Amino acid sequence: MEPAEFLGEVTQIVSRDQVFTDEQTLSDYTRDAVRHERWGLEAPRAPLAVVRPGSTAHVSEIMKLATRVGTPVVPYGAGTGVMGGAVSMDGGIVLDMGSMDKVLDISLEDRLARVQPGVILGELDKLAQVGGMFVGHDPWSQPVASVGGAVSTNGVGYMAAKYGTMGRQVLALEVVLPTGEVVRTRELPRNVSTGLDMTSLFIGTDGAFGVITEATIRLFPQPEERRHYALEFPSFPSGFFAICRFATEGIIPAMVDFAEEEMTEEGGQAIEADAPGRSVLHMSLEGSSSMEVDALEGTIWEIVSNYSGKDLGPAEAQRFWEERHAAGERYADERGTGQRHPWREDGGGGFAYIHTAVPISQVLNLRYQGIPLFQSEGFQVKEVAIWGEPEMFSIIATDPGGSDRGREKMREVSDRFIDLALEMGGTVEYCHGVGLRMKGAYGRELGAGGRELIRRLKTALDPSGILNPGKLLD
Ligand X SMILES: Cc1cc2nc3c(=O)[nH]c(=O)nc-3n(C[C@H](O)[C@H](O)[C@H](O)COP(=O)(O)OP(=O)(O)OC[C@H]3O[C@@H](n4cnc5c(N)ncnc54)[C@H](O)[C@@H]3O)c2cc1C
Q: Under the rule (CB under 6 A), what is the footprint of ligand X?
A: 32-33, 74-82, 85-86, 97, 117, 139-141, 145-146, 148-150, 152-153, 155-157, 206-207, 211-212, 327-328, 331, 431-433, 435, 468, 471
Q: Which residues pair with 226 in a beta bridge?
A: 286
Q: Is the dihedral of CA 190, 165, 177, 449 positive or negative?
A: negative
Alpha-carbon Rg for the chain in angstroms: 22
Collapse the DSSP code of 4 into the 3-class scheme (helix H, G, I; strand E, B; otherwise coil) and give the result.
helix
Nearest distance, CB of residue 81 and ligand X, angstroms: 3
Asked whether 307 and 242 are in contact (CB, 8 A), the reply is: yes
Residue number with CB closer to ligand X (144 or 304) = 144
Nearest distance, CB of residue 295 and ligand X, angstroms: 30
Asked whether 180 and 188 are in contact (CB, 8 A), the reply is: no
Residue number with CB closer to ligand X (227 or 325) = 325
Nearest distance, CB of residue 310 and ligand X, angstroms: 27
Residue number with CB closer to ligand X (244 or 431) = 431
Tell me how many degrees the CA angle 403-408-410 measures, rounded to the nearest 5.
Answer: 90
Closest CA to 151 of 135, 137, 132: 137
| β-strand pairing of 103-107 with 310-311 | unpaired
Asked whether 103 and 135 are in contact (CB, 8 A), the reply is: no
Nearest distance, CB of residue 140 and ligand X, angstroms: 3
Nearest distance, CB of residue 74 and ligand X, angstroms: 6
Residue number with CB closer to ligand X (142 or 362) = 142
Nearest distance, CB of residue 380 and ligand X, angstroms: 21
Residue number with CB closer to ligand X (85 or 469) = 85
Q: Is 376 exposed, middle or buried (0-12, 13-18, 19+ CB in 10 A)?
A: exposed
Measured at CB, which residue is nearest to ligand X?
149
Tell me how many degrees the CA angle 178-182-183 measures, rounded to the nearest 5.
Answer: 105
User: What stretch of H or E contains 302?
Assistant: helix 290-306
Residue number with CB closer to ligand X (145 or 300) = 145
Asked whether 435 and 206 are in contact (CB, 8 A), the reply is: yes
Nearest distance, CB of residue 291 and ligand X, angstroms: 32
Residue number with CB closer to ligand X (177 or 397) = 177
